[in-house]
């Protein structure tokens, strides 16, 4: 405690949390209010309890109140003359809070400490991004061989990893569909919009719409590069004046497209069906192809060793590593979407791991898609992983990618009473009113039915508001209200995790829980 500028700290809590607060707040005094649950406390109540207990300004240097208390700790400070701040919402985060205080971290009177840590970490991310977006920084960095300019966006070793969000089979979506998908990617954190053409087709008329795509994005404040992905020489030629970056140039079409604009070079000849599988052969093939491209007059070449899906992921990572060792100054691209889309596992951890590998190998551009339902959110996940990798170690930053699992297990447990009864399910009595719940457009929708007729639709994004509205308009039993509340919370969880929701169907499989054990 000697490092903490506040040597005498008082932790305020409720009765139920007292054991945990004493355990994790070691070295501090603990004041237990007569309220069972700390979240039910208010600053006014805390100030009253402390004054009644005879706490004076000279007794403590700092008061920490539970993070779940509503309102500001300023009232407590004004009443007692002792600096008062909000601590964490969970007692297990007290050690981190006290350690941060020792390093001079400034707590808030209105924001819980754990939430403040997240704000602080994300502010540091913003500071890094602002630094690398400075005009003088960019001009200096672009003089180095390991950085390039794609449209108006600098990329390379001296900049954060850039994300390309691929609009797959763009011609089939049409202009409006492409713009809608592009807006979605950009709001999720993409830096470049990739127009993916349809393999085996030639859609020249659609390519002429790319300027309109760019213009509509600009009107909404998104002045970003557009890349073009096709192996069709006619499509590539037509897009030369419209796009800022060209993907999928290989041995089969390299002589048909020569441009000063950046191109992504891949180690294939897809016309002949050739792709060197062994890492060393792949690297040598791509190095020779790069030399040929520069001899032909290409301005900027960005190699892509092709990140393969499992069971060939290891060899492709090896190829990237070997290439990077031999070519330390090249700007590289990797398509991570191919790995995620072809693995039936949650995308969060895979995107985090692939972003980490990319950092180690200094892969500067990551291409991803969100074609299948299991890949939804990949752009946002990559953005968060890239932000985490701006720091030396992606751990204990104040923000993370833990969506379904938790960093620390909660230690809440209470002693049972003298009488313990087994729960029994009773038959459900039918009522004249019933409800059908669904999710759509980021909202929860509820139809109230009498018989076969829907008599009212309620829409909202917060379960409590919806159930309050239901109870205000309809008389339903407590059991019915409990059922509806459970379904609304399930729908709310589905919205947060971007999952499908079907009423009375479990959101998650019983993977970890075995009810027979």
> In order along the chain (517 residues), what is the average pLDDT of each group of 10 residues?
67 92 92 90 95 93 94 95 93 89 89 87 89 94 96 96 97 97 97 96 96 96 96 92 95 93 96 96 98 96 97 97 98 96 95 97 97 94 96 88 83 79 85 94 95 94 95 94 95 93 90 65
CB-based contact 292:254 (threshold 8 Å)? yes
For residue 147, list its beta bridge partners: 156
CA 449 to chain centre: 38
CB-based contact 374:344 (threshold 8 Å)? yes
What does the alpha-carbon distance between residue 423 and residue 416 come to, in Å, rounded to a whole number? 14
The residue among 233, 194, 226 whose CA lies nearest residue 211 is 226
Is residue 81 left, alpha or beta, with left meaning phi > 0 and alpha meaning psi from -120 to 50? Answer: left
- Give the model's pLDDT for residue 99: 87
- Give the model's pLDDT for residue 411: 65
Domain boundaries defined on the chain: 9-111, 141-389, 433-502
The angle formed by the CA atoms of residues 167, 173 and 178, to the nearest 5 degrees, is 50
> Among positive and negative, which fits the CA dihedral 460, 462, 468, 471?
positive
Is residue 159 left, alpha or beta, with left meaning phi > 0 and alpha meaning psi from -120 to 50? Answer: beta
Whole-angstrom distance between the N-terminal and C-terminal Cα of the chain? 45
- Which CATH number is correct for 9-111, 3.40.50.11600, 3.40.50.300, 1.10.10.10, 3.40.50.2300? 3.40.50.11600
- Which CATH number is correct for 141-389, 3.20.20.20, 3.60.70.12, 3.40.50.720, 3.40.50.2300? 3.20.20.20
CA distances from 99 to 64, 94, 96 (A): 14, 8, 5
CB-based contact 264:302 (threshold 8 Å)? yes
CB-based contact 19:49 (threshold 8 Å)? no
What does the alpha-carbon distance between residue 25 and residue 11 come to, in Å, rounded to a whole number? 8
What does the alpha-carbon distance between residue 216 and residue 214 come to, in Å, rounded to a whole number? 6
For residue 391, list its beta bridge partners: none
For residue 64, list its beta bridge partners: 11, 85
CB-based contact 232:195 (threshold 8 Å)? no
- Same topology, domains 9-111 and 141-389? Answer is no
- Give the model's pLDDT for residue 5: 61
CA distances from 363 to 304, 324, 352, 461 (A): 9, 9, 14, 39
> Both tokens of residue 269?
């000849």
CB-based contact 33:13 (threshold 8 Å)? yes
């Amino acid at each position: 405690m000697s490092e903490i500028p506040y040597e005498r700290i008082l932790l305020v809590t409720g009765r139920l949390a007292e054991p945990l607060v004493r355990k994790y707040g070691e070295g501090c005094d603990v004041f237990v209010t007569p309220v069972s649950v700390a979240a039910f406390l208010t600053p006014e109540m805390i100030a009253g309890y402390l004054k009644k207990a005879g706490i004076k300004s000279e007794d403590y240097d700092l008061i920490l109140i539970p993070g779940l208390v509503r309102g500001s700790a300023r009232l407590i400070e004004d009443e007692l003359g002792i600096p008062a701040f909000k601590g964490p919402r969970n007692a297990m985060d007290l050690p981190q809070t006290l350690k941060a205080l020792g390093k001079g971290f400034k707590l808030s009177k209105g924001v819980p400490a754990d939430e403040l840590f997240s704000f602080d970490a994300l502010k540091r991310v913003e500071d890094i991004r602002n630094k690398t977006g400075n005009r003088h920084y960019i001009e200096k960095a672009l003089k180095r061989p390991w950085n390039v300019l794609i449209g108006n966006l600098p990329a390379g070793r001296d900049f954060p990893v850039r994300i390309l969000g691929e609009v797959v089979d763009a011609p089939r979506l049409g202009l409006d569909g492409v713009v809608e998908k592009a807006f979605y990617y950009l709001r999720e954190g993409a830096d470049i919009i990739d127009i993916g053409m349809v393999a085996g087709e030639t859609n020249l008329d659609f390519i002429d719409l790319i300027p309109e795509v760019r213009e509509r994005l600009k009107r909404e404040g998104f002045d970003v590069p557009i890349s073009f992905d096709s192996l069709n020489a006619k499509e590539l030629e037509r897009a030369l004046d419209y796009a800022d970056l060209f993907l999928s140039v290989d041995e089969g079409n390299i002589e048909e497209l020569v441009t000063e604009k950046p191109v992504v070079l891949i180690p294939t000849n897809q016309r002949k069906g050739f792709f060197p599988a062994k890492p060393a052969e792949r690297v040598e093939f791509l190095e020779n192809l790069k030399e040929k491209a520069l001899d032909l007059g290409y301005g900027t070449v960005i190699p892509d060793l092709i990140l393969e899906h499992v069971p060939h992921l290891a060899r492709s990572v090896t190829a990237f590593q070997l290439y990077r060792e031999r070519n330390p100054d090249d700007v590289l691209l990797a398509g991570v979407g191919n790995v995620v889309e072809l693995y039936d596992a949650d995308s969060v951890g895979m995107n985090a791991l692939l972003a980490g590998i990319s950092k180690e190998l200094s892969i500067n551009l990551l291409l991803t898609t969100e074609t299948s339902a299991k890949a939804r959110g990949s752009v946002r996940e990559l953005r968060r992983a890239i932000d985490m990798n701006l720091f030396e170690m992606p751990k204990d930053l104040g923000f993370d990618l833990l969506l379904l699992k938790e960093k620390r297990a909660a230690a809440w447990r209470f002693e049972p009473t003298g009488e313990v009864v087994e729960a029994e399910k009773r038959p459900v009595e039918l009522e004249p009113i019933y409800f059908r719940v669904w999710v759509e457009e980021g909202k929860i929708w509820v139809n109230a039915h009498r018989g076969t007729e829907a008599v009212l639709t309620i829409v909202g994004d917060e379960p409590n508001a919806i159930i309050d509205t239901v109870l205000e308009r309809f008389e339903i039993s407590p059991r019915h209200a409990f059922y509806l509340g459970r379904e609304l919370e399930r729908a709310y969880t589905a919205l947060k995790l971007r999952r499908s929701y079907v009423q009375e169907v479990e959101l998650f499989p019983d993977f970890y829980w075995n009810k027979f054990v």
